[in-house]
A and B are shown apart, each in its own frame.
Chain A
Amino acid sequence: MIRFYLNGQLQKLNQVDPNLSVLDWLRTRKRLTGTKEGCASGDCGACTVVIGSPAPEQSGQLRYDSVNSCIALVGSLHGKHLVTVDALTREPAHPVQKEMVECHGAQCGFCTPGIVMSLFALHTENAAKGSVPDDDALLEALSGNLCRCTGYRPIIEAGRRACVQTWEPGTGNAVLSRGRALSDPAGMPSDNSAPGLGGIAWLQDPEMIADLLSAQRTMGELTDDHGYRYDAPVTLEALRGLCRQFPEARLVAGGTDLALEITQQLKDLDHLIGLGGIEELQAIHEDEDGIYLGAGVTYRAMFHKLEERWPHFGPMLERLGSRQIRNRGTIGGNIGNASPIGDMPPALMALGAELDLDSIDGTRRLRLEDFFHGYKQTDLQPHEFIRGTWIPNPTADEKLFIYKVSKRIDDDISAVLGAFWLKRDGETIKDCRLAFGGMAATPKRASGAEAALRGQPWNADTVAAAITALELEFEPMTDVRGSAAYRLQVAGNLLRRAFLESTQDTTTTNQPLMVTDYA
């Protein structure tokens, strides 16, 4: 059985096909049709719901995250609070809804419930922190919501206006925070004044939270009449046992890729082991040498930890998937998936990251680059799972450059991703690791180009020599995201960009080097 709450109401499920998405469960089993299916692949956000999880860092309160319900499997709800647009149908309207109406933020209305829920999550998060999101935070919150009618401008405006208001259900209309005028053309307050928490007690109902915490301590499971199973272990030990007993079972963490086999390829997966309930997998350990990220750490959770060590992770992670994906996708999933176009592996390979593989027989550690054998082929043995990854801290003479290139800036899979780790002694390159995504069947080091750089002065001629080496060692493919020629040209130019960036402060101009600097 799994146990969770839907809009404040306890739900217990037992006999349910574990291939069912949260969206399909809502629409076909509960006939709650406010949440829409736009793509069933996690790319459009029409199905966005908000999921509350007990958050130790918030003193036992629930943290609410926007999630694509079309690729979240129903088993992943165990111990969570699922909030859908159907909870927001009473007067007074949530400020997000009121402003979406008043700003003319909906035209056909089909994407609107998802947009309302993304903005609701942003509003709730900021209300809890007592902050007001800036425009960057607003755009990030909406990064996974496609709208084909409005051109987004009125939606952005609605978000700006709503986030300076409090929501107080049951006390009359939504009120403006501190008398700020709705017609304020800038939309944003000049200070960072915060609305109070307001009467959103049902989102943090103590009895519900206590019940969810107790659910999270018990293993969840689903079965159905086909014999399909979903196991949600809550300890590493239980996971090791399940992996030994059912080596064919599929491990699912965020499910942002695996669920596509179910919704796009229409596969029925007969046994799933959900990893979301194992606390150790979500843990982050830091020491002076580096940082250890449990396999279940989400992009959202690792963002600041990585960015503060290696600043180039920031802009890359902001473009990896959407907010909804970053709320769910995990580092272990991105690595274990072994896609040639995953964005984390090249960056981690450039840093010399190491991977822990765990099983009932113990833990073994290997270099990340040794993990990938071929297209979607890895060193992972049937009874093993990824335990976590260790990433070294930078020293003063090291720098990491990560550049992602894709057709669309946000929420797009890379045509090419280049990650370059350089260790310099003055002008000389003492050591380097260059890794690329999108250039081969696996994330791959550019050993020829590395050799052309190592021990050489860091100048334009050396870079040109490395680019020549790149052209010899890579034969990328042509596909929907780019031609082989484009990939090769861009791969070399990214190295050129790294050179320009690292030497920029010595030139006379100091202009931005990337168009995303203007975003």
Chain B
Amino acid sequence: MRKLPPNIPRPTTAAKGLTGAQAFHDSAWKHVRGQARYIDDLPEPAELLHAAVGQSAHAHARITAMDLSEVWAYPGVVSVMTIEDVPGHTDIGPVFPGDPVLAGDVVEHVGQPLFAVAATSHRAARQAARLAKVSYEPLPAALTAEAALDQQLFVRPSHTQLRGDPDKALAEAPNRLQARMHVGGQEHFYLEGQACLVEPTEDAGVFVHTSSQHPSEVQKLVAEVLDLPIHEVQVEVRRMGGGFGGKETQAAPLACISALLARRTGRPVKYRMARYDDMVQTGKRHDFVNTYDIGFDNDGVLRGADIMVAGRCGFSPDLSDAIVDRAMFHSDNAYSLGQARVVGHRCKTHTVSNTAFRGFGGPQGMMIIERAMDDIARHLGMDPLDVRKRNLYGPGRDVTHYGQTVEQHVLPDLIDTLEASSDYRQRRTGVARFNKENPVLKRGLALTPVKFGISFTAKHLNQAGALVHVYTDGSIHLNHGGTEMGQGLYIKVAQVVAAAFQVDLDRVKVSATRTDKVPNTSPTAASSGTDLNGMAALDACEKIKQRLVEFAAETYGVSADSVRFENNQVHVGEQQFGWAEFVQQAYMARVSLSSNGFYSTPKIHYDRATGQGRPFLYYANGAACAEVVVDTLTGEYKVMRVDILHDVGQSLNPAVDIGQIEGGFIQGMGWLTTEELVYSDEGRLLSNGPATYKIPAVSDVPPDFRVALLPHSPNREATVFRSKAVGEPPLMLGMAVWSALRDAVSSVADYRYSPPLDTPATPERVLQAVTATERWVAAQEEPSCKNA
């Protein structure tokens, strides 16, 4: 530039908003004023068309005829297309093939897209899409994991992890229990439905605005369906109105269909799913059927375990291989299983293809061992907390069933602290007294831990890139491969950059994630957003700082180690320059003020052939104590108090971290309580809107809700400023509510019986558990039944 901007000096005080500060979300003020733009809020380009798809009415069928003439004829319709009209790839499976962009001859779930419509309004497109006349020849459909297991229908091969000789350990254990349970799935219910806006470019390529956690994958798949090189497709994600894993792979089909319609019509196309379509057409959390066979000593300590986890994957692999793997990796939760076998099945069903959801199979895996902990306690007449504490990993019992050594033992002390701060023992006495006195309402109490492995289990995804520019007024532009879905990633990484240069946070601007700024990115998933992108941004900053240090040392004749960045200044020997002033000096001396940055996670590996390795760089930990009250007449319940203590290492932003913990807990509680996915016998989703699918509402928040971060707990691994990932782990704190519900029901049998309680533990299932417990009590009182 010819003329530098005026350099307005700032006071030389400590920089504000660095790592550790409770900075507001970068869009907070826009959020509260309705000025944060989501896809459907973007200014609409001229000639915009709106997309919708026709949906399969059958779970599994051959399409014998499809008459689209009425669709074409509907007022406002501009184009209609089928799979025959796709110029490039027709399969958009993210990892393995199996996801046709539009159905071919065979449909494999109710709601599967058959054809796509472009019309001049959103309503016209949706109305037209319902007018197709489709003839089907129904084929046999497997709708549940159980059915798929019976028929050995899998989307991917089963996998086994083995440590020691579990069969021998089980045979020799003083106590042995077996159980089977069903763990329900979960609809993401991001408040912003799936959406994208695709504009044709002058080079026959497309520019894609999408609400996706994985812009690079959207870019690749759009290029493939259009038969273009990847560089003809640009993808931008400014923000999502919630993601939770539901926009990791599920945003791509919309972008592909929109791009195809844009190609056909030469006009921009917006595809925004109405809530009903979103719930029917997009994947959810896998439900699982899990079993355990456990052996334990008379103190309740596990000697051996034989565990099976079987996820209902739906009709295609999607991410299910890795999801069932993660369920296997977490079927121990925080406990040493002893000699163990863990088998994981990927069940193929004729239902929508299930996908990533916060926890990625981990929560479903953990449920089986948490059930086991309660069952051991009832069997031996112990407090479930004591059983849990005795089974925790610790020195000498620190190797998991997949061979990773647990190196940082956070949980024993964390649980002791929470046990004391939540007043667990005294409240246990109070609960018992209440239950003796009250014939109808029963209280329950539980304290459950979470240990969650951090890293993508697909090793190559553990990499990230960033781009940092310093401008001549001292302002800094930051871009990285991570996407913002509300989790506060942008502000956290901005805080990392501010800390790197020791300048005020308001110097740093984060811009929308774009594939032409940082290429080949990994999805913002696996809780890794900050770990990966924060380190990549730090790397970019360090490169720029290195150049600035060299420039300062050379220009002012000082040693490199006498150049320091602090208090919004650069200290060069005895001299001090304001940040912007120094940046201008460097610019005039022709020093590059821009750099990319890169990071790849060290240490991790996993050998599928042996089922052993170190898939995780470290573990995140936490624990929750929940108290509930249950109505034994109706099964209704209320969560009364929850105490949480969670380990986020050295927090980058305590307010954001607390927000993730509170939100994760409530989401996990919803998953295990009121959020019930109900399908008809024909495989049609009946809980297809918020009227029938009930996520927690404001009154479901425990009236007494205490959340704290574990103090003085820096990550032992060299993560960004020794922080720990926080996105997924808190979801599993919700298990405490489920365990407390079981505890309350068990009180009906004076804690001698461990009632089965599949999830979600709706009032109906809780009442079934009450009834089962009452029957057990009745059977105990009638000696003749004991022999039955």
Interface residues of A (CB under 8 A from B): 27-28, 31, 33-41, 43-44, 46, 84-86, 88-89, 93, 96-97, 100-102, 104, 106-113, 116, 139, 142-143, 145-156, 264, 266, 405-413, 415, 479-483, 486, 489-490, 493-494, 496-497, 500, 509, 511-516, 518-519
Contacts and interface: CB of A to CB of B under 8 A. Distances in A.
Given A88-B33, A150-B662, A409-B638, A143 B486 contact: no
A107 B488 contact: yes
Contacts of A147: 191, 698
B25 A106 contact: yes
Interface in B185-200: 188-193
Interface in B593-636: 629-631, 633-636
Nearest to B640: A518
Given A148-B188, A154-B662, A405-B636, 13 more contacts: A31-B43, A38-B192, A39-B689, A41-B275, A85-B34, A86-B34, A104-B25, A107-B25, A108-B242, A110-B38, A145-B698, A415-B764, A512-B441
A266 B126 contact: yes
B697 A106 contact: no
A480 B692 contact: yes
Contacts of A481: 692
A494 B656 CA distance: 44
B698 A155 contact: yes
B268 to A, nearest CB: 16
Nearest to A17: B123
Nearest to B693: A480
Contacts of A494: 633-634
Interface string B301-339: 000000000000000000000000000000000000000
A116 B30 CA distance: 12
B202 interface: no
A378 B438 CA distance: 44
B773 to A, nearest CB: 14
B659 A154 contact: yes
Interface string B749-784: 000000000000011100110010000000000000
A494 B633 CA distance: 7
A27 B195 CA distance: 16
B686 A107 contact: no
A153 B636 contact: no
Interface in B684-740: 686-687, 689-692, 694-701, 703, 705, 707
A102 B24 CA distance: 7
**Chain A to chain B: the 3 pairs with minimum beta-carbon distance, closest first:** A34-B34, A108-B486, A110-B241
A405 B189 contact: no
A44 to B, nearest CB: 5
A112 B25 CA distance: 13
Contacts of A84: 34
Given A33-B34, A497-B633, A108 B689 contact: no
Contact of B32 (A86, A93, A513): A93
B130 interface: yes
Main secondary structure of the interface of B (DSSP, over half): loop
B275 A107 contact: no
A39 B692 CA distance: 12
A28 B638 CA distance: 41
Contact of A479 (B662, B686, B696): B686
Interface in B630-648: 630-631, 633-638, 640
A107 B491 CA distance: 11
Contacts of B663: 107, 148-151
A514 B274 CA distance: 37
B485 A148 contact: no
Contacts of B700: 408-410
B670 to A, nearest CB: 9
B28 A106 contact: yes
B650 interface: no
21 contacts: A31-B43, A34-B35, A38-B275, A41-B689, A107-B659, A109-B25, A109-B28, A113-B31, A147-B191, A148-B189, A148-B667, A154-B662, A156-B701, A266-B127, A405-B763, A407-B676, A407-B764, A409-B638, A411-B697, A482-B764, A496-B633
Given A100-B32, A116-B32, A410 B241 contact: no
Contact of B191 (A36, A100, A405, A509): A36
Interface of B: 22, 24-25, 27-38, 40-41, 43-44, 121, 123, 126-127, 130, 188-193, 239-244, 274-276, 434, 437-438, 440-441, 485-488, 629-631, 633-638, 640, 655-656, 658-659, 662-667, 674, 676, 678, 686-687, 689-692, 694-701, 703, 705, 707, 762-764, 767-768, 771
Nearest to B764: A486
B40 A146 contact: no
A35 B34 contact: yes
A148 B190 contact: yes
Residue among A46, A154, A480 with the highest chain B CB neighbour number at 10 A:
A480
A465 B72 CA distance: 62
Given A38-B191, A108-B241, A109-B486, A151 B666 contact: yes
B287 to A, nearest CB: 16
Contact of A43 (B127, B691, B703): B691
A512 B437 CA distance: 12
Nearest to A145: B698
B697 A146 contact: yes
Contacts of A490: 633-635, 767
Nearest to A319: B699
B486 A107 contact: yes
B634 A139 contact: no
A143 B698 contact: yes
Contacts of A36: 34, 38, 191-192, 241
Contacts of A264: 276, 689
Given A97-B32, A108-B486, A149-B242, A515 B638 contact: yes
A152 B190 CA distance: 15
Contacts of A148: 188-191, 242, 244, 663, 667, 695
A154 B486 CA distance: 14
A109 B640 contact: no
A405 B24 CA distance: 40
Contacts of A482: 764
B364 to A, nearest CB: 19
B33 A146 contact: no
A75 B28 CA distance: 34
B583 to A, nearest CB: 30
Contacts of B767: 486, 489-490
Contacts of B640: 518
Contacts of B241: 36, 108-111
Nearest to A135: B703
B485 A108 contact: yes
A56 B110 CA distance: 52
Contacts of B762: 407
Nearest to A411: B697
B628 to A, nearest CB: 9
Nearest to B440: A513
A415 B635 CA distance: 12
B468 to A, nearest CB: 25
A96 B33 CA distance: 11
Contact of B33 (A97, A415, A512): A97
B577 to A, nearest CB: 34
B123 A515 contact: no
Nearest to A416: B634
Contacts of A107: 25, 486-488, 659, 663
Given A33-B41, A36-B192, A153 B690 contact: no
A27 B43 CA distance: 11
A34 B34 CA distance: 4
Contacts of A40: 274-275
A139 B698 contact: yes
A22 B602 CA distance: 54
Given A89-B33, A148-B695, A413-B691, A110 B662 contact: no
A410 B190 contact: no
B247 to A, nearest CB: 11
Contacts of A518: 629, 638, 640, 703
